[in-house]
Amino acid sequence: MQKKTNKKSRKKLNTIPGTPIYTGDKDTDPIIITHIEYNKSCFQENVYKNLEKYKKNSSSTSVSWLNIDGIYDLKVIEDVNQHYNIHPLVLEDILNVSQRPKFEDFKDYMFIVLKMFQYEPETFKIYTEQVSVLLFENNVVTFQEKEGDVFDPIRDRIRNVKGRISTQKADYLAYSLIDAIVDNYYIILENIGEKIEEVEEEVFSNPTRKTVEKIHYLKQEIIQLRKSIWPIRDIANGLIKSDSPLLESSIKPFLQDLYDHTIELMDIIESYRDMTTSLMDMYLSNISNKMNEIMKVLTMMSTLFIPLTFMAGIYGMNFKYMPELEWRYGYPLLLSIMMTIAIGMFFYFKRKKWL
């Protein structure tokens, strides 16, 4: 994420503000433009290669959703501009894939940027994709970096002309899209939560150097998620507080629900942060405990045998006159003394609770 942010700045240095420049990775996949138009009774879906044939919907009886997968083609963006007359800074933000999630209320339209996460179970990685939503009176335009999103359930509902969505205006469609993205965060957080439990297990049973790396990467992921989710609070709040005619009053409870969800998400993330910090403490204390255990073994062995070895060394000396060496029972006596010392040591360790 940082990398992209930086790429942006490098390219942007030579530009004036408001110049739309794509900052993501160039895709070789073709841009896919999907246009869905629906109302209470009917439904129509088209896929375009470019926007030339597309006309802006100004009928108040149906809702139009234009989705553009792939934003590396300036031509398409300019066509959108021509159709909808958008502020150049908005175009720039759409193309800048490291844009912070935000909400802006222009009089004729609203502009919302969000991050959509995709967890790929095969690679165990989380991928980020930027989704920009433009809400007009009867139109919603969405921009995604590439194909594949979390909007399929919404499409199904529209296609089947069933449920609340078909009877509602464009504001409800926009809300549904945002809600789908936010709901998807729960899955990502579930994934993080499972990883935390896994690492917790590892910390308790068999902590290794790999464990601390895992905790470190978990922390990094949580920091990244936090950066993406935190601003959504402001977006939801901005939508609730907005008195724009684009939002009907019936949408407000839904927006409040969205706001509650982001608060809940932040609660979960904060508790994950606390948990990883606690795990790190656990890990460090476990290492110290292990060290203590190792040191105990070393100290016991040394404390036991060093004096005995010294005594053996004494009677290994070659002095001419060492009367003990001549004693008949010198050797068994010494062995008994050594045994006594060893037993004494044993009880000393017992008292010290080293055994």
> Which residues between 311 and 330 bind its own copies (CB under 8 A)?
312-322, 324-330
Shortest CB 192 distance to its own copies, Å: 9
Tell me if residue 40 falls in helix, strand or coil: coil
Q: Write out the H or E segment, with its range, that includes residue 49.
A: none
Residues 31-90 binding its own copies (CB under 8 A) are 87-89
Is the Cβ of residue 13 or residue 47 nearer to its own copies in the bound state? Answer: 13
Q: Per-residue string for binding with its own copies, 165-184, x by CB under 8 A?
A: x---------xx--xx--xx
Which residue is associated with the tokens 């049973």? 205
Shortest CB 125 distance to its own copies, Å: 17
Shortest CB 64 distance to its own copies, Å: 19
Instruction: Report the distance separating Cα 301 and Cα 283, nearest Å.
Output: 27
Tell me if residue 278 falls in helix, strand or coil: helix
Is the Cβ of residue 55 or residue 322 nearer to its own copies in the bound state? Answer: 322
Is the Cβ of residue 110 or residue 268 nearer to its own copies in the bound state? Answer: 268
> Residues 163, 202, 237, 238: which binds its own copies (CB under 8 A)?
163
> Residues 253, 337, 343, 350: which binds its own copies (CB under 8 A)?
253
Shortest CB 39 distance to its own copies, Å: 17
Is the Cβ of residue 58 or residue 289 nearer to its own copies in the bound state? Answer: 289
Is 233 an interacting residue with respect to its own copies (CB under 8 A)?
no
Instruction: Report the distance separating Cα 292 and Cα 298, nearest Å.
Output: 10
What angle do the packed helices 252-314 and 209-241 form, to 10 degrees? 160
Shortest CB 157 distance to its own copies, Å: 6
Is 148 an interacting residue with respect to its own copies (CB under 8 A)?
no
Cα dihedral sign for 148, 152, 154, 159?
positive
Task: Look at residues 129, 121, 164 and name the one whose alpha carbon lies nearest to residue 253.
Answer: 164
Is 288 an interacting residue with respect to its own copies (CB under 8 A)?
yes
> Residues 58, 299, 336, 340: which binds its own copies (CB under 8 A)?
299
> Residues 41, 42, 75, 294: which binds its own copies (CB under 8 A)?
294
> Residues 227, 248, 340, 343: which binds its own copies (CB under 8 A)?
227
**Single-letter residue type at 346:** F
Instruction: Report the distance separating Cα 335 and Cα 339, nearest Å.
Output: 6
> Residues 42, 74, 298, 355: which binds its own copies (CB under 8 A)?
298
The total of other beta-carbon atoms located within 10 Å of residue 314's CB is: 12
Helices (H), the chain: 2-12, 74-84, 88-95, 152-159, 170-205, 209-241, 252-314, 323-326, 330-351
The site for its own copies, by CB under 8 A, has a size of 116
Please give the backbone phi and psi of residue 330, each rounded to the nearest 5 degrees, phi first: -60, -50
Instruction: Report the distance separating Cα 336 and Cα 333, nearest Å.
Output: 5
Q: In what order do the strands lie in the sheet with 63-69?
A: 43-48, 32-38, 63-69, 139-144, 125-135, 110-120, 102-105
Is the Cβ of residue 146 or residue 273 nearer to its own copies in the bound state? Answer: 273
Shortest CB 30 distance to its own copies, Å: 28
Is 186 an interacting residue with respect to its own copies (CB under 8 A)?
yes
Shortest CB 132 distance to its own copies, Å: 14
Shortest CB 135 distance to its own copies, Å: 16
> Residues 21, 32, 212, 240: which binds its own copies (CB under 8 A)?
212
For residue 224, give every residue at least 6 positions away whose Cβ sits within 8 Å of its Cβ, in sequence order, or none.
Answer: 1, 128
Is 355 an interacting residue with respect to its own copies (CB under 8 A)?
no
